[in-house]
């Protein structure tokens, strides 16, 4: 009897490994050279990465770039928000984050903000306070559950590790995280998912819903920009992660707007956004 159970156990492991191997092999990577033209038109270098969920296919102009890690910057506001809502630190999207009256880097941050508005205008001080309330133990616990790897922080850097330091995330990892969140693969409540999806929504039309978050880091005046998220259409969902750097001579304001514009142009070129 023990021998039979052992054989069954080994067979199950073999099937599990085979199934996972097959799944990985079935992922297709297709190079889209026209994405380079879009990047060039906005005077940026980098990679546009789009994932078609139905076709299990990645599209990009530069897969090597898409596999290299960078600071997550404000894209980390997505997992930060999920954890805060799940722990009850933030009640809902209308929760008011009080301004303490201190001067902030941007004027639009110098007022009381709803949680949704703080996410939308990327209020860094708001989310630094949220991270401090979460604390290092819970932050590490949830990031491990999310398989949100390579975040390096302690009690001294809990409120800025996504903006500076050695934390890294790649475009492919961004999309993997977003897919698991979107399809409710994390051990969190449906209520949390609904609230965070709501604050992530950017644009809604008859043909699609665009959701996401930008990010911007600057190390020694070297900028790196993100735009990550997903587009829901009537028949499919597409995930994206764009990471770019400015070319010489591009001013900061144009670079900041390029993150979304580059991505939208690529999504329109692929007839995802119509």
Give residue 13's pLDDT: 41
Considering the chain, what is the average pLDDT of its residues? 92
Task: Look at residue 15 and tell me whether its pLDDT is greater than 80.
Answer: no
pLDDT level of residue 157 (50, 70, 90 thresholds): very high
Instruction: Answer for the pair 61, 35: CB distance below 8 angstroms, yes or no.
Output: yes
Q: What is the DSSP string of 237-270?
A: EEEEEEEEEEPTT--HHHHHHHHHHHHHHHHHHT
| Helix segments in the chain, DSSP class H | 2-26, 34-41, 63-67, 77-87, 115-120, 124-145, 171-182, 190-200, 252-269
pLDDT for the residue 9? 42
- For residue range 114-134, list pLDDT tens digits in order: 999 999 999 999 999 999 999
Q: Is the pLDDT of residue 10 over 50?
A: no
pLDDT of residue 249: 86
In percent, the amount of the chain with pLDDT more than 90 equals 88
* pLDDT > 70: percent of the chain: 91
Query: Where do the structural domains in the chain lie, given as residue ranges?
Result: 28-270
Least trusted range by pLDDT, from 16-25, 59-68, 108-117: 16-25
- Which fold would CATH assign to domain 28-270? Beta-lactamase (3.40.710)
- Written as six digits, the tokens of 177 are 């995280």
The pTM (predicted TM-score) of the whole model is 0.90
74 is catalytic: yes
pLDDT digits over 50-67, tens only? 999 999 999 999 999 999
User: Closest Cα to residue 198, out of 99, 71, 90?
Assistant: 90
- Res. 25 pLDDT band, cuts 50 70 90: low
| Residue 4: predicted pLDDT | 47
pLDDT at 5 over 50: no
Contact of 182 with 248, CB cutoff 8 Å? no
Instruction: Give me the catalytic one of 74, 170, 211, 217.
Output: 74
pLDDT at residue 112 tops 50: yes
């Amino acid at each position: 009897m023990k021998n039979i159970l052992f054989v069954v156990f080994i067979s199950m492991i073999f099937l599990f490994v085979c199934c996972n191997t097959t799944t990985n092999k079935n992922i297709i990577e297709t190079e889209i050279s026209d994405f380079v033209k879009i990047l060039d038109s906005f005077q940026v270098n980098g990679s546009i990465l789009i994932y078609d969920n139905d076709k299990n296919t990645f599209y990009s102009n530069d897969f090597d770039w898409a596999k290299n890690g960078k600071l997550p910057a404000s894209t980390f506001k997505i997992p930060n928000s999920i954890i805060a809502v799940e722990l009850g630190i933030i009640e809902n999207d209308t929760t008011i984050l009080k301004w303490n009256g201190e001067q902030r880097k941007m004027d639009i941050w110098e007022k009381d903000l709803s949680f949704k508005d703080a996410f939308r205008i990327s209020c860094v001080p708001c989310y630094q306070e949220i991270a401090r309330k979460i604390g290092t133990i819970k932050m590490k616990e949830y990031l491990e559950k999310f398989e949100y790897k390579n975040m390096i922080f302690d009690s001294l850097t809990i409120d800025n590790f996504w903006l500076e330091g050695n934390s890294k995330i790649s475009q492919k990892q961004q999309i993997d995280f977003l897919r698991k969140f979107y399809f409710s693969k994390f051990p969190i409540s449906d209520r949390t998912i609904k609230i965070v999806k709501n604050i992530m929504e950017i644009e809604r039309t008859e043909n699609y819903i665009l959701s996401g978050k930008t990010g911007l880091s600057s190390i020694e005046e070297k900028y790196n920009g993100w735009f990550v998220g997903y587009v829901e259409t009537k028949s499919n969902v597409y995930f994206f992660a764009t990471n770019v750097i400015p070319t010489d001579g591009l001013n900061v304001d144009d670079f900041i707007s390029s993150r979304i514009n580059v991505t939208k142009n690529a999504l329109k070129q692929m007839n995802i956004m119509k």
